[in-house]
Structure 1
Amino acid sequence: MDGYKFESQCATILKKKHFKKIEVTKSSCDQGIDIIAYKHGKKYGIQCKYYTYPVGNKAIQEAYAGANFYDCDKVIVMTNITFTKSAIELAEKLDVDLWSNCPTNRFYSIPFRLMEIFNLALLIYGILALFSAKYSSIHLPISIDTITLIFVLSASIFGLLGWRFVLCNLVATISCLYLALHLIVLPALTSARYTYLFLLAFVPSGIYLVHAIWLYLSRKVFD
C-alpha cells in the first residue's frame, strides 16, 4: 500500500463511520488536506499519513492550516501508525482529532465485525435478562444472576465502544473470560456432555487480550 491507496482506505473508513459527501482532494494542490467530508452538519478536513514511523508536529500544523483554507469546522489526522507525544500535545491545543492505527486492509476489520456482532447479541441478551426479572413473559434459555448480568453488559458495552483502547479491551477480556468459565466451561466439566469444543468459549476473551497487547505495544514503541 502507498499513500494514495491509504487515502482511499481512509475514505472507506469515514464512510463506515457515517460521514457523507466524502471527496478526496487533488494531490497537486490539496493544501495539506487529503479528504473533505461532512457529518452532523459540520465540514471536516482530513489529512492521511501512511508512515512507518510515528507522525509528528508537521502533519498537525499542515492539517490545521489546510482546514482553515477550506473553511472546515473540524480537523482530523488519520494514520496507520501512531503519533509522537509532541504531536498529541499540539493536537489537543489546536483541537485536532487524531485517529491512530487505522486499518490498512479489509482483513483487519473481519475480527472487529465478528466481535461487533457478538457484542450486539450479548447486549440484547443482557437487556432481555434485565427485563425478564420484571416481566414473566420473557423466557431465556439461560438464566443469569445479577453478577453475571453485570459481566454480560460490561463485556458487550466495553467491547462495542472500546476496540481502540487498551483498558476497554482488558475489561472486555476479563468479562468474556468470566462468562466463558461461569456459563459454559465449568458447567460442561461437571456433566457427561463435555467436549473440547466448549473451549471455543474462550475465543472472544483471547481476541480481546491479543488486541489489547497489540495496542499497548504499538503505542509503547513510539512513545
Structure 2
Amino acid sequence: MDGYEFEYQCAKILRQKHFSKIEVTRSSGDQGVDIIAFKHRKKYGIQCKYYTYPVGNKAVQEAYAGANFYDCDKAMVMTNTTFTRSATQLAEKLEVELWPYCPTTPFYGLLFKIMGLLNAALFLYAMLTLLASRPGFDLIHLPVTLDTITLMVVLTASALGIFGWRFSLCNLITAGAYFYLAVQMFLLPAYAKTGSFTYTQLLSLIPTCVYLLHAGWLRLQIDKS
C-alpha cells in the first residue's frame, strides 16, 4: 500500500463510521486536505498519513490550514501509526481530531467486526441476565445462568472490548476478562468431567489471544513515538 491507496482506505473507514458525501481530493494541489466528508451536519477536512513512524506537527498544521481553506468545520488527521507527543499537544490546542492506528488491511477491519459482534452479543446477554433477575421479567429464560462475579466480568469484557479497542490497557483488561470466562465456563467444567480438554473447548481462548496480541501491537506503536 502507498499513500494514495491509504487515502481510499481512509475513505472506506469513514464510510464505516457513518460519514457521508466522502470525496477524495486531487493528489496535487489539495491544500493539505486529502478527504472531505460530512457527519452530523459538520464538514471535515481530513489529511491521511501513511507512515512507518509517528506523525509530527507538520501534518496537524497542514490539516488545520487546509480545513480553513475548504471552509470546513473540523480538521482531522488519520494515520496507520500514531502521533508524537508534540503533535498531540498541538492538535488539542487547534482542536484538530486525531485518528491513530487506522487499519490498512481488510483482515484487520474484519477482525475488529468479529470481535465487535462477540462483545455486542455478550453485552446483550448480560443485560438480559440483569432483566431476568428483576420482578416482572419471569418470561426471560436464559440457557446459562451467570453468577454476580461472572456477570461483572462479562460486562467488563464486552464494554471495554467495544470502546477500548484502540487502547492497550483496555485490551489487556479485556484479555484477562475473556481468559476468566474461558476458564470458568469451558475449561474447568470440562476438566472436572473428563480430565482433559477438546480442541473445541480450547477455542474459547481465541478472544484472549486476540486481545493480548492487539495490546502488544498497540504497545509497540506507542513505544515508537
- TM-score tier, shorter chain, comes to over 0.9
| SS at 2:22 equivalent | strand
- Cα separation, partners in 2 of 1:28 and 1:202, compared to 1, 3 Å: same
Matched, 1:54 2:57: no
Q: Deviation per CA, 1:180-220, whole angstroms, max 9, x where unpaired?
A: 11111111111138523211111111111110111011111
Mapped contact 2:167–2:215 kept (Cα < 8 A): yes
Query: How far does residue 15 in structure 1 lie from its aligned partner after superposition?
Result: 0.2
Question: Aligned partners of 2:151 and 2:120: how far apart in 1?
Answer: 15
> Which structure 1 residue ranges, 4+ long, deviate > 3 Å from structure 2?
none
Q: Which runs of 5+ in 2 are unaligned?
A: none
Show the 5 A alignment for 1:104-119. Answer: 104-119=104-119
Show the 5 A alignment for 1:16-27. Answer: 16-27=16-27
Question: Aligned partners of 1:188 and 1:105: how far apart in 2?
Answer: 37
Report what 2:131 is aligned to.
131
- Cα separation, partners in 2 of 1:150 and 1:8, compared to 1, 3 Å: same
Matched positions, count: 222
Show the 5 A alignment for 1:13-52. Answer: 13-52=13-52
Report what 1:3 is aligned to.
3
Report what 2:208 is aligned to.
205
Report what 1:75 is aligned to.
75
Q: Deviation per CA, 1:119-167, whole angstroms, max 9, x where unpaired?
A: 1111111111111112221111110111111111111111011111112
Report what 1:215 is aligned to.
218
Report what 2:148 is aligned to.
146
Query: How far does residue 50 in structure 1 lie from its aligned partner after superposition?
Result: 0.9
The percent of aligned pairs where both chains have the same amino acid is 59
Matched, 1:165 2:179: no
Question: Aligned partners of 1:53 and 1:111: how far apart in 2?
Answer: 24
Question: Aligned partners of 1:110 and 1:26: how far apart in 2?
Answer: 29
Question: Aligned partners of 1:114 and 1:82: how far apart in 2?
Answer: 24
- TM-score normalised per structure 2: 0.95
